[in-house]
Chains A and B, each alone.
Chain A
Amino acid sequence: MALTSALRPPASAPEAVSTLRRHVNLTLELAWTQFKLKYTGSVLGYFWSLLKPLMLFSILFAIFVVLFKQRTNEFALQLLVGVVVFTFFTDATGVAMSSIAGAGHLIRKAYFPRAILVVASTITALLTMMINLTLIVVVATPLGHLHFGLYSAVLPLLLVELYALALGFAFLLSSLFVFYRDLGHIWEIVTQVLFYASAIVYPVVAVPERFRGLFFINPLAQVVEDVRHAIVISVVPWTADYVGVRILVPLGITAIVLVAGLLVFRRLTPVFAEYL
């Protein structure tokens, strides 16, 4: 496609700021609308977002803690944290996947940066996770099950990493889904595999030592494990022999996913309107 279009005169600095403000405003407005629409008509409304991970947790708790007597290092709480983090990942990527394909009318008839739709669709899931984590802290701390220390300060960074990973997949999935609708089913299978590959229902110690390097290539496994280390069990998450594999590799992969997502999205954006 020969494109010589100079579509926009160079924006002056204040104009760029006001443009950014308009885009942030639109993102929040869209996120807020999705949030409202998701729960209109349901009696329990927002509580469903809290109940769903709680139910999953209860089932897993019954199986692994009650039935299989898995009791190491506050395993119940580890399980809950893992479920909350993982639920965010599936929610955010799942909703974001159809954020472009499902907004055909808007995309064909109005112009604004398409990325806003993708980002807005991940915000509800992000909020839900924040509230869930806060609830865990508020409820579990007085019971003496959580352990905080200086190392807990790493939690926000881990959440940034998690969000970057989810956003990378969100951009990738949402743009490809416009052209390949099979992706919906494929992604369902992938998240199922990820659920079992991310040590959510079993402690990492159950993974044989020699596979552990391979295991932590998965950024989701690393984030889940480190979030647990940061607030549930007072073990410094990154022992010296792990630094290379355990932190740099998943961080690198997260960065690759995010950059790849952005590049693919930017590449495909111009043809969204024609395909939808």
Chain B
Amino acid sequence: MSAAISVQGVTKRFRIPLDRGATLKYRLTHPRSTAKYQDFLALDDVSFDVPHGQFLGIVGRNGSGKSTLLKIMSRIYIPTHGSIVLDGRVSPFLELGVGFNPELTARENVLLNGAVLGLGRRELRRRMDEMIHFAELEQFVNTKLKNFSSGMQVRLAFTVAIQAEAAILLMDEVLAVGDARFQAKCFDVFNRYKREGRTIVLVTHDLAAVDLYCDSAIFLEHGRVIGEGQPSDVTARYRRMVADEQEADAIASGETGYSDKAESTEARWGNGDVRIASVRLENAQHEEHTNFEADAPMTIAVELEARRDVTDLVVGIGIHRADGAVIGGTNTHIGRAVLPPLAQGDRLRVSYSMNRLPLLAGAYRLTIAAHPSVHSVTYDHLEQAVSFRVTDDSGRTGLFDLGGGWVVSSEQRAGAVA
């Protein structure tokens, strides 16, 4: 398989002027000054190939060089060293709504952005109704963009961006925009791209999307590739690194006590009376894994730590599809498991074991929660915190095994019996 994108030893060094000297006066009064620069190595000898029709995810923290790499692939930046070979037309946009003008109407913006994408006016007019319908903006075709809500703008931008006929698409955080219903449409588009055999490079912080859609992933840190391969392995490594650092930060800042607010994020909340210390997904041999075979055993092992005396504790789990929908959940209360009262500082291990994982191929996320039996307060809630992937080559379709068995009984004609 030939590569659609081949990146060989790409290095990008930015010279950040300490004093810009951007006026002629400066140049004239300091004719000899070689302006002072600070070199910043944004990318350091990065190499990888993306075969035709494959999706590559690039993960890494802010400032790790992800966007610079994407800009080099799209020819916006020129690499300091190294080469990039692209086999096929590349979509010119990296982000949504680039070049949108608030003073123009939705229709005018579509025509202008479409032209940047390389589409002719006639072609755009032909697609206009369909596009406006997709963006759910039928009543606002001739409304100026400045009067649009941000959700409307982003729907329009996404709709225009997916009109690109390019074989190679480079996308910087353009996934999953709009409300849940529109997001579903976005994912449909990605599935269509997959079927059409387009090559896509995704830069995103949405690790679940990387797990679900990408065929491979690379992990950038300080401009270097420090991990590449299976998306679930790469994202797991990234998650682990971020988690380790958060822990190190907490220890470094001497944060031993618990404050409710400091620990609350969009993905984690609770009063902290009980803290979920770790969550492990284990296989039959009790080894930690993020990749599971369908029908194989799986154990969800949760470690809890009490920060106060707690007598009433329920631990719950929920499994989500990659788009966030819950497909299964239970808790210790429903399962009639009795948890002992905990004194401050006690640790407790609770695990949920499945002899036969009913999930089929795909990427999933796990939510863990600890709360009292009357769920009026939450001790700790980790929303979709752990990702895992299930592989299956049996050919069953959907999300889970139906669990039934086939029975065939035939009624043979009497005469046929020997």
Q: A-side interface residues toward B, CB under 8 Å?
A: 1-9, 21-22, 25-26, 29-30, 33, 36-37, 40, 105-112, 179-183, 186, 270-271, 273-274
- Chain B residues with Cβ below 8 Å from A29 are 111-112, 115, 121
A25 to B121, CA, bound (A): 8
Can you list 7 A-B pairs with a CB-CB distance of less than 8 A? A5-B83, A29-B112, A33-B101, A105-B99, A109-B98, A110-B93, A110-B116
Contact of A109 among B85, B87, B93, B104 (CB under 8 A): B93
What number of B residues sit within 8 Å (CB to CB) of A? 39
CB distance from B187 to the nearest CB of A (A): 24
Q: Which of B74-82, B234-242, B257-265 contacts A (4 or more CB under 8 A)?
A: B74-82
A6 CB contact (under 8 Å) in B77, B80, B85, B121: B85
On whether the beta carbons of B94 and A36 are closer than 8 Å, the reply is: no
User: A106 vs B85: C-alpha distance in the bound complex, in angstroms?
Assistant: 23
* Chain A residues closer than 8 Å to B27, beta-carbon distance: 180
Shortest beta-carbon distance from B340 to chain A in Å:
57
List the B side residues contacting A111 at CB < 8 Å. 74-76, 90, 92
Residues A273 and B77 in contact, CB atoms below 8 Å apart: yes
B120 at the interface (CB under 8 A from A): yes
Q: Once bound together, how far apart are the Cα atoms of A7 and B78, in whole Å?
A: 9
Tell me the residues in window 64-116 of chain B with beta carbons closer than 8 Å to chain A beta carbons.
71, 74-87, 90, 92-95, 98-99, 101, 103-104, 108, 111-112, 115-116
CB contact between B84 and one of A7, A26, A37, A180 (< 8 Å): that residue = A7
Partner of A1, one of B80, B99, B115: B80
B418 at the interface (CB under 8 A from A): no
On chain A, the residues within 8 Å of B374 by CB distance are none
Q: What residues on B are CB-neighbors of A181 within 8 Å? A: 22-23
Return chain A residues, CB-CB under 8 Å to B118.
Answer: 22, 25-26
* C-alpha spacing A106/B78, complex, angstroms: 17
Q: Tell me whether A182 and B23 are in contact (CB under 8 A).
A: yes
CB contacts (< 8 Å) of B14 on chain A: these are 274
- B25 contacts which of A179, A182, A270 (Cβ < 8 Å)? A182
Q: Using Cβ atoms and an 8 Å threshold, which residues of chain A touch B104?
A: 33, 36-37
Contacts of A4 in B (CB 8 A): 81-83
A26 touches B115 (CB 8 A): yes
Max chain B Cβ within 10 angstroms of own Cβ: one of A7, A40, A105, A182: A7
A213 to B82, CA, bound (A): 53
Contact of B115 among A2, A8, A25, A109 (CB under 8 A): A25
Which residues of the other chain, A, contact B92 by a CB distance below 8 angstroms?
A: 110-112
Could you say which of A6, A22, A26 has the most chain B C-beta atoms within 10 Å of its C-beta? A26
Q: Which residue of B lies closest to A271 (CB)?
A: B78
Chain B residues within an 8 Å CB radius of A273: 71, 76-77
How far apart sit A8 and B112, CA to CA, in the bound complex (Å)?
25
Known A-B contacts A111-B90, A274-B14; A36 and B82 likewise in contact (beta carbons under 8 Å): no
Across the interface, do B82 and A179 meet the contact criterion of CB distance under 8 Å?
no
B24 at interface by CB-CB < 8 Å: yes
Contact at A105–B23, with CB atoms within 8 Å?
no
The 8 nearest A-B residue pairs measured at CB: A29-B115, A109-B98, A22-B118, A182-B24, A270-B78, A26-B115, A111-B92, A110-B92
Most central of B27, B78, B85 by chain A CB within 10 Å: B78
**Shortest Cβ distance from B27 into A: residue:** A180
Residues of chain B from 107 to 163 with CB closer than 8 A to chain A in the complex: 108, 111-112, 115-116, 118, 120-121
**CB < 8 Å: which of A1, A9, A25, A107 contacts B85?**
A9
**CB nearest neighbor in B for A273:** B76
Query: Could you say which of A5, A36, A108, A110 contacts B78, with CB atoms under 8 Å apart?
Result: A5
The residue in chain B whose Cβ has the minimal distance to the Cβ of A180 is B24
One of B79, B99, B108 near A110 (C-beta < 8 A): B99
Q: Which chain B positions have C-beta within 8 A of A36?
A: 104, 108
Q: Is the Cβ of B75 less than 8 Å from the Cβ of A2?
A: no
| Chain A residues within an 8 Å CB radius of B71 | 108, 273
Q: Beyond A22-B118, A25-B120, A180-B23, is A33–B112 a contact (Cβ under 8 Å)?
A: yes
> Which residues in A have their C-beta under 8 angstroms from that of B94?
109-110
Compute how far the CA of A21 lies from the CA of B80 in the bound complex, rounded to whole angstroms: 32
B98 (CB) vs chain A CBs: closest residue = A109
Docked-complex contact B23 and A26, CB < 8 angstroms = no
B120 in complex: contacting residue of A21, A105, A106, CB < 8 Å: A21
Residues on the A chain within 8 Å of B80, using CB: 1-2
Q: A5-B79, A8-B86, A183-B24 are in contact. List 8 more A-B contacts (CB 8 A).
A: A1-B78, A4-B83, A33-B112, A37-B104, A181-B22, A181-B23, A186-B24, A274-B14
A270 to chain B, nearest CB (A): 4
Q: Is the CB of B83 within 8 A of A33?
A: no
Q: How far is the CB of A85 from chain B (nearest CB, A)?
A: 29
Contacts A105-B99, A111-B75: A30 and B84 contacting too (C-beta < 8 A)?
no
B112/A30 in contact, CB under 8 A: yes
Question: In the complex, what distance in Å separates the CA atom of A112 from the CA atom of B121?
Answer: 17
The complex places the Cα of A210 from the Cα of B88 at a distance, in Å, of 62
Name the residue of chain A whose CB is nearest to the CB of B111: A29
* Assembly CA distance A108 to B93 (angstroms): 10
Q: Which residues of B contact A8 (CB under 8 A)?
A: 86
The distance in angstroms between the C-alpha atoms of A33 and B384, with both chains bound, is 45
Known: A4-B83, A30-B115, A111-B90. A37 touches B22 (CB 8 A): no
- For A182, the chain B residues whose CB sits under 8 A away are 23-25
Chain B residues with CB under 8 A of A9: 85-87
A1: nearest chain-B partner, CB-CB = B80
Interface pair A5/B84, CB less than 8 Å apart: yes
Q: Which residues of B contact A179 (CB under 8 A)?
A: 22
